[in-house]
């Protein structure tokens, strides 16, 4: 969330809402003059009651787009349907591979050589909405979860603002359960094929592989 606040998005960030009243992001947003609200899930008797209160807090600022950033609660189908096509999330894997939690552990266990992150529309099925954009990073033999997570996070901070800019500018939308682009923003170029290990440059860094895709 903090990375998005400083990304210079072509949109107004009207509010930051968290289910954790002590979240550092609330203080960060408030210091920037952005409206904040805390909707504590522990104060509600059911998931449906919490989602209704969360929707009320969001609707107070009439958002065109709801952006999840570090929000770890599963939302009810009714809440997701309320913002269908207007709510997006970023997931730390190249979906549909490794949905859910512990994605870096899953990637290392599977032995993949390329990992990454995905921006997608939110649907009722967790981590299964139409994909908007992806970025890939290499997985090195010496990687542990912490090193791989840091490399993916660097890619996330590039990918999410780029994807949100497309949405804010009306260049991408969800239609009929699929992602539709006004025009596909990237074609061809030297990174059209990503190899890892790279036989040309075995020491290539994230900058050679992490790429805004589409």
Please list the residues that pair with 133 across neighbouring strands.
119
Active-site position among 91, 104, 115, 120? 91
CA distances from 5 to 28, 87, 148, 158 (A): 9, 17, 24, 13
What number of H helices and E strands is found in the chain?
A: 7, 8
Residue 41 designated active-site: no
Select from 87, 147, 73, 149 the least CA-distant residue to 119. Answer: 87
Q: What is the CA radius of gyration of the chain?
A: 18
CA–chain centroid gap for 187, Å, is 22
Residue 129 burial by CB count (10 A; 0-12/13-18/19+): exposed, middle or buried? buried
**Known catalytic residues?**
91
């Amino acid at each position: 969330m903090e990375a998005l606040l400083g990304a210079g998005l072509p949109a107004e960030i009207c509010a930051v809402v968290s289910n954790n009243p002590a979240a550092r992001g609330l203080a960060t947003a408030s210091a920037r003059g952005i409206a904040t609200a805390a909707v504590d899930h522990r104060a509600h008797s059911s998931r449906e009651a919490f989602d209704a209160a969360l929707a009320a807090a969001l609707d107070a600022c009439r958002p065109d787009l709801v952006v999840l950033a570090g929000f770890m609660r599963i939302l009810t189908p009714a809440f997701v349907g309320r913002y269908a096509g207007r709510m997006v999330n970023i997931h730390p894997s190249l979906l549909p591979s490794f949905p859910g939690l512990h994605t870096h552990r899953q990637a290392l266990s599977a032995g993949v050589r390329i990992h990454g992150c995905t921006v997608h529309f939110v649907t009722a099925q967790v981590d299964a909405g139409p994909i908007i954009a992806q970025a890939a990073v290499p997985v090195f033999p010496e990687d542990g979860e912490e090193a791989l997570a840091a490399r993916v996070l660097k890619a996330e901070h590039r990918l999410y603002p780029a994807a949100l800019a497309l949405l804010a500018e009306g260049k991408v939308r969800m239609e009929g359960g699929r992602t539709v682009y006004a025009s596909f923003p990237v074609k061809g170029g030297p990174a059209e094929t990503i190899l890892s290990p790279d036989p040309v440059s075995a020491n290539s860094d994230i900058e050679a592989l992490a790429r805004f895709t589409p």
